[in-house]
Amino acid sequence: MFKSLNFKVILFGFIFTFFSSFGQSFFLGLFNSSIRDALSITHGQFGSIYASATLLSSFILVWVGKKIDDFNILKFASYVIALLAISCFLFSKISSVAFLFLSIFLMRLSGQGLMSHTATTTISRFFEKTRGRALSTTWLGLSLAEFILPLLIIFLLTFIDWRNIWIAISISVIIILPIVIVTLVKNVKLDSRETSIATNIKTKDIKQWTRGEVLKDYRFYIICLSMLAMPWIATGTFVYQSFIVSSKGWGPYVIAQSFMVYSILSVITLFLTGFLIDKFSSRKLIIYMNIPLLVATFVLYYFNSPISSFVFLGLIGISNGLANVLGSATWAEIYGVRYIGSIKALTTALMVFSTAFGTALFGILIDNSLSIEQIALVSGSYILIAILLLFLVKNKLNPDYL
């Protein structure tokens, strides 16, 4: 399907999304209890620190992420790798609330923010005809991490101090990733494009929107409402998985095991979504993105059996698979790829901001004695409103042609 350079760029994206997992909420949430015990803080306090640090990282990401339009990928990725390695090491040294804030800020900026931003921006710009399949393959890296890391970390925490785990992660980042970028994307420039005989997408005929122009387009905000549902709801779920487990009376391994179903369905959906985007376009698929997530909130609200955990996270996995690919392809289809780094820096920052919002909201609701069922009802209401608004503009999502 892909020629040599095409394959290298996809492998680069795959590895970078895998390593972005160290800054993702599902991974950091695994250390929630250990950190709270070490610092003697509550769920709500942890949530507030997590949310405020994430919020700050989203503001910084708007500016830093924009620079990917100005540097070649090798140089930009080198900076991101260095920041991620430093962030992981600092995370192992958390000894106070202030240090916790700094560590989470750096992990969210470098891991969830810049690692995924670097991968998806490179893929979105480099690929045209096969963008959907390329993005879906790239996001398999994160799905693989979500599949193997929760159970692995829970197992390691039974006999290894959590600080030593983070030191090992830092070492792996600084050893593996420099080799990856030199081997795979050394020759990729800003104007490099996929090798193909022909392409059905004539990007020169599509208006190339600047970030300022995008901010004046009402469609951008309606699409964002839907795209931000998955990040804040899933983040709240992942960060407070221990609260959900205790509320529902599930065993300690139920959520971790359910992540395997989440990952499997994410992978299946990623593959299907990639092919569907290349065939029908992401603009026609985005309306369906959050329907599984809406059903997931109903499952969490209504059912208490441990089996419902697998159904709940499985449905989130389906929406996650859709959202990961659609979240990058949609912007490139509507607004072009010339300024895609700048645009995606903004949308990635908004995504990170929404995770901060979800963490803070879940923490506040929990501290105010709301049940997980009531929280599910709040989440479902937001999703339904976002779907209805997107439905109203679904026929107005075409690009402007020159």
- Tell me, what's the pLDDT at 400? 78
| Confidence band of 199 (pLDDT split at 50, 70, 90) | very low
Phi, then psi, of 206 in degrees rounded to 5: -100, 135
Q: Has residue 196 been placed in a domain? A: no
Q: Has residue 197 been placed in a domain? A: no
Q: Has residue 213 been placed in a domain? A: yes
**What is the rounded CA–CA span in Å between residue 73 and residue 60?**
19
Nearest CA to 377 out of 288, 299, 292, 287 is that of 299
Q: Has residue 366 been placed in a domain? A: yes
* Confidence check: pLDDT of 92 > 70: yes
- Tell me, what's the pLDDT at 200? 47
Convert the pLDDT of each residue in 214-252 to its tens digit. Answer: 999 999 999 999 999 998 999 888 878 888 888 888 877
Query: What's the longest Cα–Cα distance across the chain?
Result: 62
Predicted TM-score (pTM) of this structure: 0.80
CB-neighbour burial class of residue 294 (10 A; exposed 0-12, middle 13-18, buried 19+): buried
**Rounded mean pLDDT of 87-115?**
93
* Confidence check: pLDDT of 325 > 50: yes
* Confidence check: pLDDT of 2 > 60: no
Q: Has residue 109 been placed in a domain? A: yes
| Range scoring the smallest mean pLDDT among 40-44, 100-104, 117-121, 172-176 | 40-44
- Tell me, what's the pLDDT at 55? 86
Which CATH number does the domain housing residue 138 bear? 1.20.1250.20
Domain interval for residue 288: 4-190+202-396
Nearest CA to 75 out of 178, 173, 195, 201 is that of 178
Convert the pLDDT of each residue in 292-324 to its tens digit. Answer: 999 999 999 999 889 999 999 999 999 988 998
In a 3-state reduction of DSSP, which class is residue 207? coil
As for how many domains the chain has, the answer is 1
Q: What is the mean pLDDT of the chain?
A: 88
Q: Identify whether the C-beta of residue 141 lies closer than 8 Å to the C-beta of residue 16.
A: yes
| Confidence band of 3 (pLDDT split at 50, 70, 90) | low
Q: Has residue 401 been placed in a domain? A: no
| Range scoring the smallest mean pLDDT among 96-105, 187-196, 290-299 | 187-196
Q: Has residue 61 been placed in a domain? A: yes
Residues 6+ apart with CB under 8 A from 72: 188, 189, 190
Q: Has residue 135 been placed in a domain? A: yes
- Tell me, what's the pLDDT at 195? 64
